[in-house]
Structure 1
Amino acid sequence: MGLQRILNGVIRFRKTVRADLVKQFEKVRDDPHPTALFITCMDSRILPARFTQSQVGDMFVLRNSGNIVPHAQNYGSAGYEVSITTEPAALELAVKRGKIKHVIVCGHSDCKAINTLYGLHKCPKAFDPESPMDHWLRRHGYSSLRKLELRLSNPDEKPLEYISNNALFSFSALIDPENALSVEDKLSQINTLQQLENISSHGFLKEFLERKEINLHAMWFDIYTGDMQMFSKRSRRFVTIDEDSVDRLTNEINQ
């Protein structure tokens, strides 16, 4: 039944939008100019092209379990790493070879990968040594979990101040200052910001960051409200992107 829906969708595509898309493909085939790399979760509820209303050739899209980009230290000393994983290769393709100016990491609420990561934190015995998913999350999610632990260990104090001390990309953030999110969603926001640190750790991006030829952004999508949020370094928090905030966020990016 599931495959039949997909096949029927292909038929509807052929009858409706195919001709228009082929024209767009022909237009950008020899001279594409994507402006962003959009890194997000593989969750079936996340639809990057719809959220951003992007067209053919507008952006690269990379999806995996938990919108994670491994830190360079997982492959060797920062500044010299050779990774055989998809994520650093995609960064090199988009930034170094594709000359894109913006890398966006987009997390979301009720993320099954992040929920699993938190579950492994609460019950380490649940770790399955035969599970590629469990290995992926435990290896690359530890830094996010550590920052969450700081928040949970001081529940009566001010909201967790997330601090990135990366020399090439520093910022601080307040995670859920209203304390309105579930623990798992707090971890999801922390994890989204953590990927900006992970991205900036890769040596092949050093020159682009130093010359400010690339901008790193964090977005977070609330599955149940349909609101897309963007992290504002100036406000030190995630801000809902709407008619009231879009100009302010755009000006912040352009400065």
Structure 2
Amino acid sequence: MERLFKGIMQFRREDFLAHRELFCRLGREQRPHTLFIGCSDSRVVPSLITRTHPGELFIVRNVANIVPPYRQTEEFVATTSAIEYAVKALEVDCIVVCGHSNCGGCAALHKSHDELAELPHVRKWLQVSAEVPERVARLAVEGTPEEREWLTERVNILVQMRNLLTYPFIAERVKGGRLEILGWHYIIETGEIYNFNDELGAFERIGRE
């Protein structure tokens, strides 16, 4: 706790003062250009890897960067409500689904029901991506564990991109050219980010030389 309090004081002395004008402008409104849907993993810091400032990204984070398909429900739906607010109220121009390397949530997709017995809510949440292991098994018949890991993370990203299009207000905006959906795979140990090229049907490294 002390470490967090010291960080707050340092923020006030340094970062806040350096961007005082920006924070004053943001005090009463926000106009983010992008909805960033990422994993809750502590190693993934959206503003750091995109070099964005406060007010630019509307961020949703959960285990394995999952997007539940659209549905009418009376349940409490955190991710769905955040997506709805970002698109309909804030009118973002872009949605990024960002997965990452060494994702524990994606690895758990390959675990059995009993192996996740101590994580019942995680197990339930991962059912949204239940199709991923089957698709990976078909694609990586003779792949190494490392190849299966990357493939799982990337197939999971594609599933969430598809799920976004089940939201009527998203599908309408995408069709009308008012909203773009991107799929990213962030490699923690190298700092590389691969973007899914829909025309080629493959992930390409951003900033290729």
TM-score, normalised relative to structure 1: 0.75
Note if 1:150 corresponds to 2:138.
yes
Residue 93 to residue 202, structure 1, CA distance change in 2 (3 Å): same
Aligned equivalent of 1:94: 86
Rounded Cα–Cα distance in structure 2 between residues aligned with 1:12 and 1:127: 40
Aligned equivalent of 1:219: 184
Q: CA deviation at 1:203?
A: 2.4
8 Å CA contact 1:21–1:56 kept in 2: the answer is: no
Q: CA deviation at 1:187?
A: 0.3
Residues 202-241 of structure 1: matches in 2 within 5 Å? 202-241=167-206
Q: CA deviation at 1:202?
A: 1.6
8 Å CA contact 2:129–2:159 kept in 1: the answer is: no
Query: Gapped runs of 5+ residues in structure 1?
Result: 76-80, 157-178, 245-255
Q: What letter matches 2:199 in structure 1?
A: R
Q: What letter matches 1:51 in structure 2?
A: I
Deviations 1:68-103 (A, max 9, x none): 01112xx4xxxxx23631112111111111111100
Aligned equivalent of 1:24: 22
Q: What letter matches 1:132 in structure 2?
A: H
Deviations 1:15-50 (A, max 9, x none): 211223342121233453211000100101001111
Residue 95 to residue 10, structure 1, CA distance change in 2 (3 Å): same
Note if 1:52 corresponds to 2:50.
yes
Note if 1:186 corresponds to 2:157.
no
Q: CA deviation at 1:231?
A: 0.9
Q: What letter matches 1:229 in structure 2?
A: Y
Once the two structures are aligned, what percentage of the paired residues are identical?
Answer: 24
Which portions of structure 1, spanning 4 or more consecutive aligned residues, are displaced by more than 6 angstroms?
none
Q: CA deviation at 1:129?
A: 7.3
Q: What letter matches 2:27 in structure 1?
A: R
Q: CA deviation at 1:188?
A: 0.7
Note if 1:111 corresponds to 2:109.
no
CA RMSD of aligned residues (A): 2.1
> How many residues in Structure 1 have an aligned counterpart in Structure 2?
208
